[in-house]
């Protein structure tokens, strides 16, 4: 799943490690998310969305509409 995590994180001036610490995951998990190698749980997606000060998960995660059909 593609994300805007890297862009949004950099805009806020926080490191992968800082985001990981706040979300309760490892830096490697954040790296995997940023590189579309890992699909997060709904809870993790929600946490990251709130940490990055976004209102909607869709503001952070790019959902391929094809997987919803």
Walking along the chain (69 residues) 10 residues at a time, the average pLDDT comes out as 96 98 98 96 97 97 74
The answer to whether position 69 is within a domain reads no
The answer to whether position 49 is within a domain reads yes
* Distance, C-alpha 47 to centroid of its chain: 8
For the chain, the domain total comes to: 1
Q: What is the pTM of this model?
A: 0.89
* Distance, C-alpha 33 to centroid of its chain: 6
- Domain harbouring 42, CATH code: 1.10.260.40
Q: What is the pLDDT of residue 32?
A: 98
Q: What is the pLDDT of residue 68?
A: 59
Phi, psi dihedrals of residue 23, rounded to the nearest 5°: -90, -10
The answer to whether position 14 is within a domain reads yes
Q: What is the pLDDT of residue 16?
A: 98
Q: What is the pLDDT of residue 35?
A: 96
The answer to whether position 24 is within a domain reads yes
- CB-count exposure of residue 10 (10 Å: 0-12, 13-18, 19+): exposed
Can you give the residue range of the structural domain that contains 44? Answer: 2-63
Q: What is the pLDDT of residue 67?
A: 61
- Residues 24 and 12: beta-carbon distance below 8 Å: no
Q: What is the pLDDT of residue 63?
A: 82
């Amino acid at each position: 799943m593609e994300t805007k995590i890297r862009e949004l994180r950099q805009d806020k001036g926080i490191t992968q490690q800082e985001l990981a610490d706040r979300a309760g995951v490892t830096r490697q998990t954040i790296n995997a998310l940023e590189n579309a190698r890992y699909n997060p749980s709904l809870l993790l997606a929600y946490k990251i969305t709130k940490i990055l000060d976004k209102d909607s998960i869709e503001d952070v995660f790019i959902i391929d509409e094809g997987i919803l059909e």
